[in-house]
């Protein structure tokens, strides 16, 4: 059980009193993408919960909420009651990991299904047990057509529910990223604000990362250790030099092709070993974005894959968001997972503003 003595008082977020009435607990909080967006949008996030200890530093260093290293499966109603305290309006938020849908987890998928569906089920169980006034979930689009999502929605009896697939680039996330967003309220009808209401224009790769210092493959910026690019083999360096922004490996000379490209099955993966386009959104940032051969993750101009910092910016994290302590070693696998799995910060902001408007509209109704 979470002890009330371990729940520190949260700093004043300097927002309107009506906004402060919404307090949030962020399940599966990761490095803090959703929390940071919700806070920026005006919601008081009191805690983030995640099983991964590597999330603690980025979460607590960049956010006012406390980080609780805990398996959501082990949480019970009393734990959340302690965290919410006497909050007027409680928001339970989260993005339960759904690895069975990941293109990087196809091997052994059958064995992992039950375990991963349990995370979605636990989210639903906590909603049913605590009956928060507001709920939001962000997840992969494929979840919409799966039975586990229908089961999840059964926990929302008594709620007004809005749920749609959202094109993140319409809200100023510089990625062609589509996500499932759900909002639910026991207070009345609720919906996500439209892109026009949010008012953020589409943003390109050039607008996002072109001003960062030039670095070579395998190097990092001495002023920002996170602006670090993975190294390239001599062959892959030749390949990226032969690649055009927005092009494919089909543009290469025959001698540069990999064995998989010569097979029939390889013809269906034109975006691997690709470069991004300057004046378009980036592809969806995955946990493997730092590898040139893992997708269209080549820098539009420099002969390397995008850096960790560039990926974080494309996920709309602030350019000074700290992911590791200054004396810690930068590891691509660990930070790739933290950055790639994050909810884009701006999507969290859209959700926050939508829910705050929802509450204000209810309060203004005669």
In angstroms, the CA 165 to CA 358 distance is 20
Return the higher-pLDDT residue of 361 and 257.
361
In angstroms, the CA 242 to CA 223 distance is 30
User: pLDDT band for position 14 (50/70/90)?
Assistant: very low
User: pLDDT band for position 116 (50/70/90)?
Assistant: low
pLDDT at 364 over 80: no
pLDDT at 311 over 70: yes
Is residue 196 included in any domain, yes or no? no
User: According to the model, what pLDDT value does residue 1 have?
Assistant: 54
The answer to whether residues 238 and 297 belong to one domain is yes
In angstroms, the CA 305 to CA 231 distance is 9
Which stretches does DSSP call E strand in the chain? 22-27, 44-50, 66-69, 89-94, 134-139, 160-167, 178-185, 220-221, 224-228
User: pLDDT band for position 96 (50/70/90)?
Assistant: confident
pLDDT at 164 over 90: yes
In angstroms, the CA 82 to CA 112 distance is 32
pLDDT at 112 over 70: no
The answer to whether residues 90 and 186 belong to one domain is yes
The answer to whether residues 90 and 20 belong to one domain is yes
CB burial of residue 202 (10 Å; 0-12, 13-18, 19+): middle
User: pLDDT band for position 365 (50/70/90)?
Assistant: low
In angstroms, the CA 112 to CA 105 distance is 9
Q: Which single residue is written with the structure tokens 């809200």?
A: 171
Q: Which domain holds residue 61?
A: 4-191+343-360
Return the higher-pLDDT residue of 106 and 353.
353
The answer to whether residues 168 and 127 belong to one domain is yes
DSSP string, 248-301: -GGGS-GGG--HHHHSTGGGG-TTTT-BPPTTSPBPPP-TTTT-GGGSS-B-SS
Residues 270 and 249 sit within 8 Å (Cβ to Cβ): yes
User: According to the model, what pLDDT value does residue 252 have?
Assistant: 84
Is residue 197 included in any domain, yes or no? no
The answer to whether residues 173 and 243 belong to one domain is no
pLDDT at 45 over 90: yes
pLDDT at 123 over 70: yes
Could you report the per-residue pLDDT of 275-301, keeping only the tens digit for each? 999 999 999 999 999 999 888 999 999
Residues 277 and 206 sit within 8 Å (Cβ to Cβ): no
Average pLDDT, the chain: 88
Active site residue 55: no
The CATH number that applies at residue 173 is 3.40.50.150
Could you report the per-residue pLDDT of 222-277, keeping only the tens digit for each? 999 999 999 999 999 999 999 888 877 778 878 788 766 666 554 555 667 889 99
User: According to the model, what pLDDT value does residue 295 have?
Assistant: 87
Residues forming beta bridges with residue 184, ordered by sequence position = 135, 161
Here the tokens at position 147 are 């039975």
The answer to whether residues 83 and 149 belong to one domain is yes
Residue 24, φ and ψ in degrees, nearest 5: -125, 140
In angstroms, the CA 323 to CA 309 distance is 10
Here the tokens at position 328 are 């810690």
pLDDT at 5 over 70: no
pLDDT at 143 over 50: yes
Number of structural domains the chain divides into = 2
CA atoms within 13 A on the CB side of 297: 27
The answer to whether residues 355 and 273 belong to one domain is no
Residues 42 and 21 sit within 8 Å (Cβ to Cβ): no
The CATH number that applies at residue 249 is 3.90.120.10
Residue 99, SS3 per DSSP: helix
| pTM across the whole model | 0.89
User: pLDDT band for position 117 (50/70/90)?
Assistant: confident
Give the helix/strand (H/E) hosting 152.
Answer: helix 147-153
Helix, strand, coil shares, percent, the chain, to 5 = 40, 15, 45
The answer to whether residues 187 and 242 belong to one domain is no
The answer to whether residues 347 and 320 belong to one domain is no
Count, residues in the chain: 366
The answer to whether residues 171 and 247 belong to one domain is no
Is residue 240 included in any domain, yes or no? yes
Choice among 98, 163, 168, 260 that is catalytic = 98
The answer to whether residues 27 and 156 belong to one domain is yes
User: According to the model, what pLDDT value does residue 17 have?
Assistant: 40
Residue 213 per-residue DSSP state: P
User: According to the model, what pLDDT value does residue 24 have?
Assistant: 98
Return the higher-pLDDT residue of 119 and 6.
119
Could you report the per-residue pLDDT of 318-334, keeping only the tens digit for each? 999 999 999 899 999 99
In angstroms, the CA 218 to CA 106 distance is 29
In angstroms, the CA 182 to CA 258 distance is 42
User: According to the model, what pLDDT value does residue 121 have?
Assistant: 93
User: pLDDT band for position 20 (50/70/90)?
Assistant: very low
Is residue 198 included in any domain, yes or no? no
User: According to the model, what pLDDT value does residue 270 have?
Assistant: 63
Return the higher-pLDDT residue of 108 and 23.
23
The answer to whether residues 57 and 184 belong to one domain is yes
């Amino acid at each position: 059980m979470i002890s009330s003595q371990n729940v520190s008082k949260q700093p004043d977020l300097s927002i309107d009193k009506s906004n402060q009435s919404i307090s949030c607990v962020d399940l599966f909080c990761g490095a803090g993408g959703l929390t940071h967006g919700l806070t920026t949008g005006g919601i008081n996030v009191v805690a983030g919960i995640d099983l991964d200890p590597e999330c603690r530093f980025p979460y607590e260093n960049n956010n006012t909420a406390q980080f609780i290293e805990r398996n959501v499966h082990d949480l019970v109603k009393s734990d959340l009651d302690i965290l919410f305290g006497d909050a007027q309006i409680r928001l339970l938020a989260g993005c339960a990991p759904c690895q069975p849908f990941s293109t990087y987890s196809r091997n052994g998928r059958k064995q992992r299904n039950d375990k991963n569906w349990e995370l979605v089920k636990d989210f639903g169980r906590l909603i049913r047990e605590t009956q928060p006034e507001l709920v939001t979930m962000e997840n992969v689009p494929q979840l919409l057509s799966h039975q586990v999502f229908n089961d999840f929605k059964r926990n929302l009896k008594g709620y007004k529910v809005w749920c749609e697939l959202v094109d993140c680039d319409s809200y100023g996330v510089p990625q062609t990223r589509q996500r499932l967003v759900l909002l639910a309220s026991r207070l009345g009808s609720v919906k996500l604000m439209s892109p026009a209401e949010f008012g953020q224009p589409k943003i390109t790769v050039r607008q996002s990362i072109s001003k960062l210092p030039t670095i070579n493959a395998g190097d990092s910026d001495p002023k920002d250790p996170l602006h670090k690019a993975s190294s390239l083999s001599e062959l892959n360096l030749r390949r990226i030099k032969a690649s055009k922004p927005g092009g494919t490996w089909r543009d290469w000379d025959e001698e540069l092709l990999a064995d998989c490209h010569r097979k029939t099955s390889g013809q269906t993966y034109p975006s691997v070993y690709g470069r991004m386009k300057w004046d378009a959104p980036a592809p969806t940032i995955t946990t493997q974005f730092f590898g040139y051969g893992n997708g269209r993750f080549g820098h539009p101009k420099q002969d390397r894959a995008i850096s960790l910092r560039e990926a974080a910016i494309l996920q709309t994290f602030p350019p000074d968001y700290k992911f590791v302590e200054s004396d810690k070693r930068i590891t691509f696998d660990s930070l790739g997972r933290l950055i790639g799995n994050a909810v884009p910060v701006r999507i969290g902001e859209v959700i926050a503003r939508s829910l705050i408007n929802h509450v204000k509209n209810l309060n203004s109704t005669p």
